[in-house]
Amino acid sequence: MPIAPIPAVALTPVAYFPKGYFLENLAVRSDGSVLVSSLLHKELWCVPGPEPSLDAQPMIVHTFENIVMSVVEVEPDIFIVSLSDGYTTHESHLARIDLNGWAPGKPVAPEIIYTFDYRVRALNGSCLVAPGVMLIADCFAGLIWRIDLSPGARDARARIWIQHPTMGMDLDSEVAPPPQPGINGIHYGPKTGYVYYTSTAQQVFMRIAVDRDTLDPAGLPEFVAAIDKTDDFCIDEIAGFAYVTRHRGNTIDRVPLAPGHGSEVRHIVGDPFDERLVGPSSVAWGRDPSDMGRVAYVTIDGGRTAPPPDGVIRDAALLRIELRSATVGEAPAYATAGR
């Protein structure tokens, strides 16, 4: 079977942040604005929509007491923010933010709805698998937490969903600090019924079948592809691909969602080096119905974590990425095969 053509990619900066910021995660709201977490500065920002552009300045939504990691919308305009001091005390919480009726510039009142016990090490990526059920990657403990939320997300219960060697961090890594996390990005594909994840230290892209009744694992993790320097990703189940950010590699790679096609991993942007794409961390599709498989937003740290080949540290930014190809959205034969 021929490999699907690589789409042409257009990158457009839509917001700049101060140099030295580590933009960790993002969530696109239904109104087109984008929430962005700044890890080390412990801030949550908003880039106004409906189509973010350099004309609209990003603004701080809230400054937390802990490191800000992932941001997930669990009900319309209700977001769960993962807070985790993974590099120090490992103190970790889930905070609820209700943005219904909120406008940029107005204060918000986050509520801590859950505090993790001694088993937590460092929360990272997270995703919603069903109404009221989240999964959160713990990148230093090498496991996935399951979070069951009450209606309105005002309360939560947590338990370990699965732990596996492919999720472990690398204690002997020769890579410059910070330590390389294990399981990092995590997303659920409702059509195929799999949870997909990247593991930075183990250099793999994996998937786990999900029992559609219990929402627990329906088997052990399966190897999908080898890929290094990974961070987060978004998935297009129709086309059968994940689009993976390689944080220290300064590329975005297209990875088939099904096992047996690992040789088809391809850079779609960043090779040759593109100075606009330095330190890509998180990526998410836009919210317009036509955006899936075509328009996404990407956070970059500008090389703060790992200086690029030219040694120049740039400003952190939010980018708009557009995939331009007549074949985008056309599925290879293996793409949508569920269980």
DSSP 198-267: EETTTTEEEEEEB-TTT-SBSS--EEEEE-SSEEEEEEETTTTEEEEEETTTTEEEEEESSTT-GGG-EE
Helices (H), 259-321: none
* pLDDT tens readout for residues 285-304: 999 999 999 999 999 999 99
**What residue ranges do the domains of the chain occupy?**
8-324
Residue corresponding to tokens 């994940």 = 242
Residue 4 has a pLDDT of 87
Quote the pLDDT of residue 331.
43
Q: Which of 172, 218, 222 is nearest to 197 (CA)?
A: 222
Top-level CATH class of 8-324?
A: mainly beta
Residue 291's nearest CA partner among 52, 123, 72 is 52
pLDDT of residue 104: 86
Cβ-based neighbours of 239, under 8 Å, separated by 6 or more: 4, 293, 328, 329, 330, 331, 332, 335
What's the pLDDT tens digit per position in 251-271? 999 999 999 999 999 999 999
Report the distance separating Cα 50 and Cα 297, nearest Å: 13
Task: State the DSSP code for 66.
Answer: S
pTM, entire model: 0.94
- pLDDT (mean) for 323-333: 56
